[in-house]
């Protein structure tokens, strides 16, 4: 692009031009102010299954503060994304991960859930292994190329990126839609990896007219 082309671009300002996301997904990041050591100690005290996961019941007193803070964060995302206040989120599925350093996940989604949250109670080094999210608009990679020898992007952002990596940090909580494929990348240094993933589901509030129309049957889809 030459100088004359840049001059032509400058003719557009906020008064006569607007660029906005369209049908976009989202990624929300929070720093939780809770007792992370308490969560960490609870995970280490649990008997892990063959997948190094601890399935959650949502009745664990040691995690009560974490559950409350995470729901507050999800409520904020619910509000900021324009969802109705006559609907709310409930937790129905969750698990704590205590992975070995060489373990990683294949890209996947969380079908039937609404939002997915991932929380890191302890990150001891910079080689923790990021969480990678994949652009759900798969056709975009056929148009906006990012290969090393055929790269048409100047800046990686929500319009051009095909993948987005979240760097773990102690106390970090991320929330994103369930339809976004994601996976944990391998941890490069020895040692375990602690994280907790929760699935939330959108259900009617107690004052939602939907309950009068359909009754409690609306909850059966979550069982």
Rounded to 5, what percent of the chain is helix, strand, coil? Answer: 25, 25, 50
DSSP 108: B
How high is the pLDDT of residue 186? Answer: 81
Three-class secondary structure of residue 5 per DSSP: helix
- β-bridge mates for residue 151, sequence order: 146
Other beta carbons within 10 angstroms of residue 176's beta carbon come to: 22
How high is the pLDDT of residue 221? Answer: 47
Please tell me the distance from the alpha carbon of residue 151 to that of residue 22, in angstroms, as a whole number. 23
Residue with tokens 């990041």: 29
pTM, full prediction: 0.85
How high is the pLDDT of residue 160? Answer: 85
Among 202, 199, 222, 218, smallest CA distance to 210 is for: 218
Q: Going residue by residue through the chain (223 aa), what tens digit of pLDDT does each one get?
A: 454 555 666 777 767 888 888 887 999 999 999 999 999 999 988 866 556 789 999 999 999 999 999 999 999 999 999 999 999 999 999 999 886 555 567 899 998 899 999 999 998 876 778 999 999 988 887 787 766 667 788 888 888 888 899 999 999 999 999 999 999 888 766 666 789 999 999 998 887 776 665 555 555 444 5
How high is the pLDDT of residue 206? Answer: 81
**Residue ranges of domains in the chain:** 25-222
Please tell me the distance from the alpha carbon of residue 91 to that of residue 58, in angstroms, as a whole number. 8
Please tell me the distance from the alpha carbon of residue 172 to that of residue 65, in angstroms, as a whole number. 15
Residue with tokens 């800046």: 155
Q: Token pair of 82, please?
A: 């324009």
Strand ranges for 111-192 from DSSP E: 115-119, 131-134, 146-147, 150-151, 163-166, 172-177, 182-184
Please tell me the distance from the alpha carbon of residue 131 to that of residue 196, in angstroms, as a whole number. 12
- 25-222 CATH, one of 1.10.8.190, 2.120.10.10, 1.20.140.10, 2.60.120.620: 2.60.120.620
Q: Which helix (H) or strand (E) holds 93?
A: strand 87-99
């Amino acid at each position: 692009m030459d100088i004359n082309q840049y001059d032509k671009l400058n003719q557009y300002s906020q008064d006569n031009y607007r660029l906005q996301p369209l049908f976009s997904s989202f990624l929300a990041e929070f720093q939780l102010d809770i007792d992370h050591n308490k969560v960490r100690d609870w995970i280490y005290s649990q008997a892990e299954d063959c997948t190094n996961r601890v399935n959650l019941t949502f009745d664990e007193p040691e995690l009560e503060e974490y559950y409350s803070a995470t729901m507050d964060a999800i409520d904020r995302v619910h509000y900021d994304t324009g969802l109705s206040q006559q609907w709310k989120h409930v937790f129905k599925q969750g698990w704590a991960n205590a992975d070995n350093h060489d373990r990683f996940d294949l890209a996947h989604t969380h079908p039937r859930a609404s939002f997915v949250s991932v929380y890191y109670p302890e990150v001891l080094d910079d080689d923790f292994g990021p969480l990678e999210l994949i652009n759900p608009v798969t056709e975009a990679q056929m148009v906006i190329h990012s290969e090393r020898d055929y790269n048409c992007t100047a800046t990686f952002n929500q319009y051009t990126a095909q993948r987005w990596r979240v760097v773990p940090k102690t106390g970090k909580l991320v929330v994103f839609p369930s339809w976004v494929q994601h996976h944990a990348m391998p941890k490069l240094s020895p040692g375990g990896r602690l994280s907790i993933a929760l699935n939330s589901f959108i259900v009617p509030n107690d004052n939602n007219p939907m309950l009068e129309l359909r009754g409690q049957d609306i909850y059966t889809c979550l069982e």
